[in-house]
Structure 1
Amino acid sequence: MTPHDRHPHGSRRLDLRQRSTLAGEAAAAAAEVETALDTPADPTAAAFFDVDNTIMQGASIFHLARGLHRREFFTTREILGAAWKQAYFRVVGVEDPEHVAEARSSALGFIAGHTVSELEALGEEIFDEGMAHRIWPGTRAMAQMHLDQGQRVWLVTAAPIEIARIIARRLGLTGAMGTVAEHVDGVYTGRLVGDMLHGPAKAEAIKALAAREGLDLSRCSAYSDSANDLPMLSLVGDACAINPDARLRSYARQRGWRVRDYRTGRKAARAGLVVAAAAGAVSGAVAAGATVRGRHHH
């Protein structure tokens, strides 16, 4: 039986829109609300922040994967094999749905067999050693500005929900929405619920959360570095491009959106793009998940 046949949501092949909706709803359902009992001073307005290259320099899943690799979660050969496949898809720019279906169904396959509590505990350590010093102070200050105005602030990221929650908690934010990995009795299956929280799925997550929390999206704000997040940015009344890629920068100019760049100098910006591209390839590899299940060291 293929993983698809065992998929908890029945249908062998969901179309992209269904997968986005499912991923968005799963992320919203898993969104952690730290201050659930507190009534915010401004309950209908909230801010949504992308993580990679927006809140944090580089890709959080890349930093997570590196930390897990140090702890022998998977071998170098496994992760590099998947990285090249993902880089190829990115360069060629066409994803054959049939070929990608298997990769998606086993995304985050490298955590299969590990427990949620194990990943959460290691995630705390990995945040301290590999992520804390990469937080952009300027973006963090913007998030704090929304909190100071009595608005709730959520992270919305393709990173696994477990790591997204740790980042939100450490930064004192309201909560996080991220990619939801399926687990049964606290043990990861290696498959996703729906799809990665990426592009259109982020907008679906925000819509589901807005409905649940009574938010007025025209009063909400969103922040991202990537044109991939145009669905999320276009959903709210106040969008801001942070460290934007070229396509987002020009779109933001046309729309009159705020633009903030915390990268210093052209050289740093250029190096940042190279690092982002490399991290993107590896993060995709981690997501494509090292269709590898063996070699778990406990």
Structure 2
Amino acid sequence: MTPEKSRRPLDLQQRSTLAGEAAAASADVEAALATPADPTAAAFFDVDNTMMQGASIFHLARGLHRRKFFTTREIASAAWKQAYFRIVGVEDPDHVASTRASALSFICGHTVEELQELGEEIFDEAMAHRIWPGTRALAQMHLDEGQRVWLVTAAPIEIAQIIARRLGLTGALGTVAEHVDGVYTGRLVGDMLHGPAKGEAVKALAEREGLDLGACSAYSDSYNDLAMLSLVGGPCAINPDARLRAYARQQGWRVRDYRTGRKAARAGLMAAAVAGAATGAVAAGAAVRRRR
């Protein structure tokens, strides 16, 4: 094994930890300032295909595309690459590195305020009606029990916070895009909040907020979120992909499926493809610069 290859796992762990800590530090905690009835328990919800039908990052990208942030060719090319890697399960390290470096670069030069304003518009036009009623009811159940509820998603933290606020939740953890003086640089803080990074974000938030993870719950549709689901005492698979469904049954976890008119196993494969395409859509900024 070459020295370069031996360093890769450590690099990934460092990026995941940095992304998790950045997401926790950027979490919207205004609603958490009041002492909850159950201060040590909380619930963590994935967004894409768990809280919302489809991928929030895709709805965001499509909304920004309509507003001329980038071209159809750019979004389609990156989306296809990510869908392919999700289905085949093989990713070239050089491609991953370049994708990470370019992810969210389409907002380079735009302001945080601008993205927040457009995010509000895009939520109303493309996301609000896609919230799963069943998952929303589960989140409300935790709130009614005096627990805090956070979203945990690979979507930009600004969009994640909008969704959380609109749903009346405590706050959100999301991918953190670097900005200086309120203007995006096109770089990420750490990595995308995906896979191991979600687990790091939840651990960092739990430490800061004094949560007992054994008394907490987590919800996701994806096997990729095992790092988060395995941390808590009450994991639950929502609209699960095939691998997560099988794993959840083996572990005796709760399973809830709110999809209709489709078979879960088939939907699991399609959901993985859509989620990969959505991530690719956001990474489409590889060759994009601010349009004036």
Scaled to the shorter chain, the TM-score interval is over 0.9
Residue 282 to residue 216, structure 1, CA distance change in 2 (3 Å): same
Matched-pair contact (CA < 8 Å) for 1:50–1:223: yes
C-alpha distance in structure 2 between counterparts of 1:199 and 1:73, whole Å = 28
- The amino acid that maps onto 2:285 is A
Equivalent residue for 2:286, pick from 277, 291, 298: 291
Q: Give the equivalent residue in structure 2 for 1:170.
A: 166
Q: How far does residue 83 in structure 1 lie from its aligned partner after superposition? A: 1.8
Long gaps (5+) in structure 2: 1-6
Q: Give the equivalent residue in structure 2 for 1:280.
A: 275
Equivalent residue for 2:73, pick from 73, 77, 97: 77
Matched-pair contact (CA < 8 Å) for 1:107–1:286: no
Q: Deviations over 1:237-262 (max 9, x none)?
A: 00110001111111111111111000
- The amino acid that maps onto 1:151 is Q
Q: How far does residue 109 in structure 1 lie from its aligned partner after superposition? A: 1.2
Equivalent residue for 1:216, pick from 212, 219, 222: 212
Equivalent residue for 2:142, pick from 141, 146, 154: 146
Q: How far does residue 92 in structure 1 lie from its aligned partner after superposition? A: 3.9
Residue 272 to residue 66, structure 1, CA distance change in 2 (3 Å): farther
**What secondary structure does 1:155 align onto?**
strand
Q: Deviations over 1:123-145 (max 9, x none)?
A: 00000000000000000000000
Q: How far does residue 14 in structure 1 lie from its aligned partner after superposition? A: 6.8
Aligned residue pairs total: 286
Q: Does 1:247 align with 2:237?
A: no
Q: Give the equivalent residue in structure 1 for 2:4.
A: none
Q: How far does residue 90 in structure 1 lie from its aligned partner after superposition? A: 2.7
- The amino acid that maps onto 1:282 is A
Q: How far does residue 272 in structure 1 lie from its aligned partner after superposition? A: 4.6
Q: Give the equivalent residue in structure 2 for 1:5.
A: none
Residue 47 to residue 12, structure 1, CA distance change in 2 (3 Å): closer
Identity of aligned residues (%): 79
Matched-pair contact (CA < 8 Å) for 1:86–1:288: no
**What secondary structure does 2:151 align onto?**
strand
**What secondary structure does 2:122 align onto?**
helix
Long gaps (5+) in structure 1: 1-10
Deviating more after overlay: 275-284 vs 152-161 = 275-284
Residue 172 to residue 81, structure 1, CA distance change in 2 (3 Å): same
C-alpha distance in structure 1 between counterparts of 2:192 and 2:271, whole Å = 18
- The amino acid that maps onto 1:68 is L
**Normalised by the size of structure 2, how large is the TM-score?**
0.93
Q: Deviations over 1:269-291 (max 9, x none)?
A: 57755753453243121232330
Q: How far does residue 216 in structure 1 lie from its aligned partner after superposition? A: 0.3
Matched-pair contact (CA < 8 Å) for 1:252–1:258: yes
C-alpha distance in structure 1 between counterparts of 2:84 and 2:32, whole Å = 43
Q: Deviations over 1:153-184 (max 9, x none)?
A: 00000111011000000000000000001111
C-alpha distance in structure 2 between counterparts of 1:91 and 1:226, whole Å = 13
Residue 248 to residue 13, structure 1, CA distance change in 2 (3 Å): closer
Matched-pair contact (CA < 8 Å) for 1:227–1:247: yes
**RMSD, aligned CA:** 2.0
Give the alignment of 1:58-69 within 5 angstroms: 58-69=54-65
Matched-pair contact (CA < 8 Å) for 2:241–2:271: no
**What secondary structure does 2:287 align onto?**
coil
Q: Does 1:41 align with 2:33?
A: no
Equivalent residue for 1:22, pick from 12, 18, 27: 18
Equivalent residue for 1:57, pick from 53, 71, 90: 53
C-alpha distance in structure 2 between counterparts of 1:84 and 1:39, whole Å = 46
Matched-pair contact (CA < 8 Å) for 1:108–1:286: no
**What secondary structure does 2:285 align onto?**
coil
Matched-pair contact (CA < 8 Å) for 1:157–1:198: yes
- The amino acid that maps onto 2:79 is A
Q: How far does residue 81 in structure 1 lie from its aligned partner after superposition? A: 2.0
- The amino acid that maps onto 1:222 is A
C-alpha distance in structure 1 between counterparts of 2:228 and 2:154, whole Å = 13
C-alpha distance in structure 1 between counterparts of 2:289 and 2:10, whole Å = 27
Give the alignment of 1:114-133 within 5 angstroms: 114-133=110-129
- The amino acid that maps onto 1:79 is I
